[in-house]
Chains A and B, each alone.
Chain A
Amino acid sequence: MTPSQRVIAPMRGEARVVSLLDEGGPNRRLVLAVPGWPGFHPGQFVMLSPGARRSVPQRDPLLPRPMAVFRTHPAGEGTRVEILFKVHGRGTALLADTVPGDRIGVVGPLGTPFPVPPPGARALLVAGGTGIASVYQLASELVSRGTRVDVLLGARSAVDLMGEADFAALDLELTVATEDGTRGRRGVVTDLLDEALAQGGAPVVYACGPTPMMRAAAELAVRHGRPCWVSLENPMACGFGVCLGCAAPLRAGGFALVCRDGPVLPAEAVAWDGLP
């Protein structure tokens, strides 16, 4: 957390589904109306319980799902909170089955946000998979501050890529890679990162995505002598530091709680071999 970022106390409440868009492949865009939303910082997340607020609460699956806040819009009867997610398990399937008007339990915002780069520094954002949803607000806020932002997005295939149009609408340099070459460059997003770092410009690197991707990004940043922040995605039951389920091992020994100490951590602090 950067000193200028005020601490936002999380809320627990009930969100209403405003819309759920199928964005192709596994990708969904959920817009929630959240009365009493206290605001958030880039990199923070919410815990969503799609079954808990039904007329008969559904207790299976039991646990809420951590979701990055993609962005928010002010609205009269409850701030609109936008979530991008992929359908890949029981919890996300339940979220994908909601319809406008459905009620969803929400707790948040939670977690330690991305720190902003020092004045004048450039930012290089690299994201893959659902990690793309975690860095949009960072990109948007940095662009507003006048920071030069380069964004590298990766996916297996064009159909898996989420949020490209949202990033393209911002005043930043966007490059896309897909493993099968169906969109942008063929290859993995860390290939793009290697090239971008080789061009210099002394950027601060921000990475979010699958663990192997973040680890590769962290190693590239070290090789190029650049600071790197990663946003981890460990499973968690609570999101506010009591279940202790999301512990990530640290190189210095001990653990960080991804929900409270993270999700954003300095890349060099993470003991990557110890992550499941």
Chain B
Amino acid sequence: MSVDTRVNLGGIALRNPVLTASGTFGYGTEFAPFLDLTRIGGFVAKSLTLEPRQGNPPARIAEAPAGMLNAISLENVGVDAFVREKLPALPEGVTVIASVFETEISRYAEVAKRLTGAPHVAGLEVNASCPHVKSGGIEFGQRPALLRDLVAAVRRASELPLLVKLSPNVTDIAEMARVCEGEGADGISLINSVQALEVDPETRRPVLSNVLGGLSGPAIRPIALRMVWQASRAVSIPICGMGGIASAEDAVKFLLCGATAVQVGTLNYLEPGIAGEVADGLVAYAERHGLGRLADLIGALETGRGAPASPVRRG
């Protein structure tokens, strides 16, 4: 039986629903020894700013139970070098979603503008949720009024399909999702890392130089599933779900909770190439369960005691 793996993520046609998450996949070429990038739906590149940006001093990472903390602070080559040098280095047929980050709304819009029309770039993901930069980022994802202005401005700057990556560090994710939908976003990515702190009891200091960092990895997966489920019930635009995905079965959980596509993140560090195995594993899962389309899993979580609900079709 052949399985139809295609999904449509807010106007981005994907050959399969497996993407890789921004900040965990560099600019794609770093994975050339490990993975044929056309095996996956695509990848979300490292967040880009208008100018090249340097990261925090060490220590930038720390281990946590079944996860890790990072406070890199969005080090990147800048949008122009990305378009000039990184994109042309990619093989044909690779789908890229470019991640946009800045500290002011007008600068977010300018980065979006410069990415529009660049080769490989099939869509934008606005990073409104970095948990460890001093200004911008998470503020936009935590205040509905700011988020509204941000999404509206980027929407005006580019006709590319527009995803907004939301922070889990909010009280009401449904409200944030509705703000994005109301301003014309084509989809929502969640969750970014969970704001966290780790301490060294011997030195009595924070482990990270930035004090606060973002927790990622399997440790946050149930939180991510919960928020994807809540967001998917609040809006009708598609959701791209992520948080500690380590297997095809993990990806299935996100689809069931309402995600149209998923992103593999932290696991890329320890198992470079695992995204390809997740994509293959989804096909094996579908065959095992007699499904003709992966899209039939989207939102098919059965929460009632009675007869199974019919799956929501968003793919």
Give the interface of A toward B (CB within 8 A). Answer: 9-12, 47, 49, 52, 57, 59-64, 90, 105, 107, 234-238, 240-249, 254-255, 274-276
Cβ–Cβ < 8 Å partners of A107 in chain B: 34, 270, 272
Cβ–Cβ < 8 Å partners of B59 in chain A: 235, 276
Give the interface of B toward A (CB within 8 A). Answer: 24-26, 30-31, 33-34, 54-55, 57-63, 65-68, 70, 72, 75, 209, 217-218, 246, 266, 268-273
For the complex, give the distance between the alpha carbons of A236 and B270 in Å.
10
Do the beta carbons of B272 and A240 come within 8 Å of each other? yes
Do the beta carbons of A234 and B217 come within 8 Å of each other? no
SS class, residues of chain A in contact with chain B: loop
Tell me which of A64, A90, A242, A254 contacts B25 (CB under 8 A). A242
Do the beta carbons of B60 and A57 come within 8 Å of each other? no
Cβ–Cβ < 8 Å partners of A240 in chain B: 30, 33, 272
Q: List 17 A-B contacts (CB under 8 A).
A: A12-B33, A59-B246, A60-B66, A63-B63, A90-B63, A235-B61, A236-B61, A237-B269, A238-B268, A238-B269, A240-B272, A243-B24, A244-B72, A247-B55, A247-B75, A249-B58, A276-B59
Cβ–Cβ < 8 Å partners of A49 in chain B: 270-271
Given contacts A63-B68, A244-B72, A245-B72, contact A105 B272 (CB under 8 A): no
SS class, residues of chain B in contact with chain A: loop
Cβ–Cβ < 8 Å partners of A10 in chain B: 33-34
Cβ–Cβ < 8 Å partners of A60 in chain B: 65-66, 218
CB nearest neighbor in B for A61: B63
Do the beta carbons of B268 and A242 come within 8 Å of each other? yes
Cβ–Cβ < 8 Å partners of B62 in chain A: 235
Do the beta carbons of B70 and A243 come within 8 Å of each other? yes
Cβ–Cβ < 8 Å partners of B65 in chain A: 60
Q: Give the Cβ gap from A248 to chain B, nearest Cβ, in Å.
A: 7
Q: Give the Cβ gap from A9 to chain B, nearest Cβ, in Å.
A: 5
For the complex with contacts A237-B266, A243-B269, A245-B70, 18 further pairs of A-B residues with Cβ separation under 8 Å are A12-B271, A52-B271, A59-B218, A60-B218, A61-B63, A62-B217, A64-B270, A235-B61, A238-B269, A238-B272, A242-B26, A242-B269, A244-B55, A245-B60, A246-B60, A254-B54, A255-B54, A276-B59
Q: Give the Cβ gap from B221 to chain A, nearest Cβ, in Å.
A: 10
